[in-house]
Amino acid sequence: DVCSSDLCDQQYFPAGFPLLLAAVGAEASLPRAHAVVLMCYVLSLPCLWFYATRALQSRILAHVVVMCFAVLPGTLLGVQGILSESLYLLLTMAFLLLHEGSRVESSPRSPITAGVVLGLLVCVRSIGAVMILAACVHAIVSRVWLLAAGMSV
C-alpha cells in the first residue's frame, strides 16, 4: 500500500492556494471555496483572450480560442472541484500576457511584475518551477538569436 509508506508523509504541496482560501474566508466554507475557484477560472478567460488576440492578431480567432478552451472537459472538471488548477491557470495566463507585453513595450515594470507572477506560480503549484526554467531558457535563446542575427540586445 503506497499511502501506508513514508512516501505520503513527505509529499509537498505549496501553500499558495490554501492561503488564498484562508485570505478570503473560504477555508471552512465549501460554497465560498467553490466561488474562489470559479472566480479564478472566470478571470483567466479574459487573460487568455488578450493573449490569444496578441498571438493571433485577430479578435474573432481569440473568441474562438476562448470558447473552445472554456468547454474542454479537462477545464470544466478542474472547475468542479476545489483544486488549485484555476488559480494556476490564472497566474499562468497572467504571466504569458505580462511576458508578451514586456517584449512589446519597454516598460521596466512589466518584467518585474512577470517575475512576481512567476514566484506566485511556484507558491501555487510546484510545477511552477518549470515555468521559471522555461522563462530562463526563452530569455537565453532569444538573446542568442538576436546576437546571431546581428541585432543589439
pLDDT digits (tens, 9 = 90+) for 81-132: 888 899 999 999 998 888 876 666 666 667 788 888 888 888 888 888 888 8
Which distant-in-sequence residues (6+ apart) come within 8 Å of 76 by Cβ? none
pLDDT at 47: 93
pLDDT at 3: 42
Q: Given a cut of 80, is residue 134 above it in pLDDT?
A: yes
The reported pTM is 0.80
Q: Given a cut of 60, is residue 6 above it in pLDDT?
A: no
Neighbours of 18 (CB within 10 A): 14
Host H or E run for residue 74: helix 73-80
- Is residue 63 a contact partner of residue 76, using CB atoms and an 8 Å limit? no
Q: Tell me which of 52-66, 90-104, 138-152 is least confident.
A: 138-152
Kindly report the average pLDDT of the chain as a whole number.
83
pLDDT at 90: 93
Please compute the mean of the pLDDT values over residues 34-60 and round it to a whole number: 94
Report how far residue 149's alpha carbon sits from residue 137's, in angstroms, rounded to the nearest whole number: 18
